[in-house]
Chain A
């Protein structure tokens, strides 16, 4: 750290800072322990893996595990991508439309409608599991990815609506009015004025939706047939057998979490801006 002349600080500041960073470092180490175990185990050769030596660094780094598990995961991985991407895009678009109408093109009872939509967030998965299963069976949507996408779109609507409503609420009312006076109706105001300024909200909503759709296990195993199982089910099948091959399980887990990581990295800078969007102008 560079020392600057004329810096305003308490005499005890250096000690306090040191203590603070030490504490933070300790916490970080604690929270990173599972990640360490995951990484290390995934990189060990099968012979080296044992519960006793789980904290030891591998003798030699091997990527063999990934090669072993990838064939078992590939189908689930593809299914998950085909399910999570449309689920998050559609849900975000619908959430944007909802949020716009609930904040900037309001109708009588908008607040009541919003409360109702938000209520959907507090319905636990388990409560709707059986009726959902039956509805999907009646409508012949069970088995394929389409039904699963539909379920994730609908289940994501409350949160995406909330995200976009909060975002649009922070947008100047005059902007929407300018569009009205300029001759744009609701749909064209939404498309030409509201959507182009919404990328930060889209980033937040996409990250959230993609992560929750990707990580879902319950709906996936319930509503799809074996050939359409998402990666979470495939993951469970690797780790859930009698003798757990830890190295394979860890390698699979690592592979399975890569896409969410990628989405976060790609959209992350918008994510931060999205969170700050209400606080700062411009």
Chain B
């Protein structure tokens, strides 16, 4: 689908400086958010619904006023700038296509509003339509398009603008599961090709982990962790991130660390000798990812009876005996706690 190769767009970084949003009624939707996105980077804002991620996006777009802090696009402070003057393009959850305009006019609208000459407009619309496979649909109205086609038009409308920043507010949530995976892959390709700074909002952590070069986890309007997907998975800074990232979710059990061993539910596992908790002597919360379980029979590892949280086809409630935990690479001789010591105890 993506063949032609328009010139790469000039990318701009985004910097949020102590960004805060308080809605009427005193609810802090976003508080003290510091975030720096490198030019050309694809970052994902993720968190449970109501965590303020959409509000952050809308503040970057200029659709929501900032209560405190500043928004920088590139080196320019755009905090008080109107959305139409920010040179950002946004893909909305509902796509928000103009219903009375054809696909062509929808895509050209942003250019038209910015005074691009008609010939140039047509050229760019056609080029983008070709890369997205929208060419045969240019004369249609949005009502005559399928959901996937509408989604592509919404993407195309943003791309044609050649903005400095793409903002995407759950653009895949209205697609069926299969299409979502396809479009997700296309998004990554598209970003590689265009190299535009992209901020992508989703509540789906799988989407976040597969799309983002870096992922910002938000909770109650506060940034929890902003790092690569691998780091979020391997090294979550707190319990929330540990529990939120990963599917199926991490298992938790109260345990105690003493004498270089972690003890829980009658079991005892040696800690990695270079681990941060080796010398500790206190209660902890042990997190075990489902991927850390191994088949039974490894000498020295405790045998656990495990009940899958989401039982599949029969037997409906199967229990599997597993060894726990599987030794992590790099620490062949011991248990590596999945998160850091400072947040391990409650």
Contacts and interface: CB of A to CB of B under 8 A. Distances in A.
Interface of A: 172, 174-175, 177-185, 188, 192-193, 196-197, 282
Contacts of A182: 84, 89, 109-110, 113, 157, 161
B114 A183 contact: yes
Given A174-B94, A178-B90, A178-B92, A183 B110 contact: yes
A179 B84 CA distance: 8
Given A196-B100, A197-B100, A177 B63 contact: yes
A181 B160 CA distance: 13
Contacts of A185: 82, 84
A172 B97 CA distance: 10
B83 interface: yes
Contacts of A181: 61-63, 83-84, 86, 88-90, 110, 167
B89 A172 contact: no
Chain A to chain B: the 10 pairs with minimum beta-carbon distance, closest first = A183-B113, A196-B100, A182-B110, A174-B96, A178-B96, A174-B92, A183-B84, A180-B83, A181-B90, A175-B96
B69 to A, nearest CB: 21
Contacts of B90: 177-178, 181
Given A179-B109, A182-B84, A183-B110, 12 more contacts: A172-B96, A177-B63, A177-B83, A180-B84, A181-B61, A181-B84, A181-B86, A181-B89, A182-B161, A184-B113, A193-B98, A197-B99
Nearest to A175: B96
Interface of chain A: mostly helix, strand, loop or mixed: helix
Contacts of A179: 98, 109
| Residue of A172, A179, A181, A185 with highest tally of chain B CB at under 10 A | A181
Nearest to B115: A183
A97 B172 CA distance: 34
18 contacts: A174-B92, A174-B94, A175-B98, A177-B63, A178-B92, A178-B97, A178-B98, A179-B98, A180-B63, A180-B84, A181-B63, A181-B89, A182-B89, A183-B113, A184-B84, A197-B99, A197-B100, A282-B143
A240 to B, nearest CB: 49
B14 to A, nearest CB: 15
B128 to A, nearest CB: 15
A183 B85 CA distance: 7
A11 B100 CA distance: 49
A282 B143 CA distance: 8
Interface string B141-181: 00100000000000001000100000100000000000000
B341 interface: no
Contacts of A174: 92-94, 96
Contacts of A178: 90, 92, 96-98
